[in-house]
């Protein structure tokens, strides 16, 4: 049975950022993952390691019958296929795919934490997530995404570049 309310964040700041986002969506769709909804694409400033180019970010709602760890393994394979190299923590990357929410599950493990532990602190996650899932409830904080965005203290640049239709072109 497929889970239909899984949200992932996708970002890129190396190479052709838009093409990297498109390729990641295509890889997801070829991996037993249905991409149900895609936010607009936003250009955002890097966090943590700031000496790098701006990111293109989006959030997608997906459906899959994979369990969370299977999904993580699939995402890691997609990132690798698209040239992701983990050299500098929070450093530049061709593609970064994070599981933000998996239904209302709470998972705390060495390899996987759901909900994403910093999603509520990052406007570059909350803005596109609020665009497609404003009333979705964070299972730990028990607030909807719109409410989390309203109190988010992250003031980094999040500029809408393209409507979600641009991803499929």
| Rounded Cα distance, 93 and 152, in Å | 25
- The residues assigned a catalytic role are 84, 93, 96, 98
Identify the three-state secondary structure at position 108. strand
Rounded-to-5 percentages of helix, strand, coil across the chain: 30, 30, 40
The answer to whether 116 and 102 have CB atoms below 8 angstroms apart is no
Name 8's Cβ contacts closer than 8 Å, sequence gap at least 6: 59, 60, 62, 75, 97, 98, 99, 100
The answer to whether 59 and 128 have CB atoms below 8 angstroms apart is yes
Helices (H), 95-134: 123-132
């Amino acid at each position: 049975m497929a889970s239909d309310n899984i949200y992932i964040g996708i970002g890129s700041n190396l190479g052709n950022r838009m093409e990297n986002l498109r390729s990641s969506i295509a890889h997801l769709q070829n991996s037993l993952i249905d991409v149900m909804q895609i936010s607009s694409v936003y250009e955002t400033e890097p966090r943590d390691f700031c000496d790098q180019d701006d990111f293109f970010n989006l959030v997608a709602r997906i459906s899959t019958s994979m369990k969370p760890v299977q999904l993580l393994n699939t995402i890691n394979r997609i990132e690798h296929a698209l040239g992701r190299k983990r050299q500098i923590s929070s450093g530049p990357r061709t593609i970064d795919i994070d599981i933000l929410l998996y239904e209302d599950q709470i998972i705390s493990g060495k390899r996987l934490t759901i909900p994403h532990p910093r999603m509520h602190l990052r406007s570059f996650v909350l803005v596109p997530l609020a665009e497609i899932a404003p009333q979705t409830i964070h299972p730990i904080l028990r607030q909807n995404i719109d409410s989390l965005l309203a109190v988010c203290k992250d003031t980094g640049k999040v500029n809408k570049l393209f409507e979600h239709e641009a991803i499929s072109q």
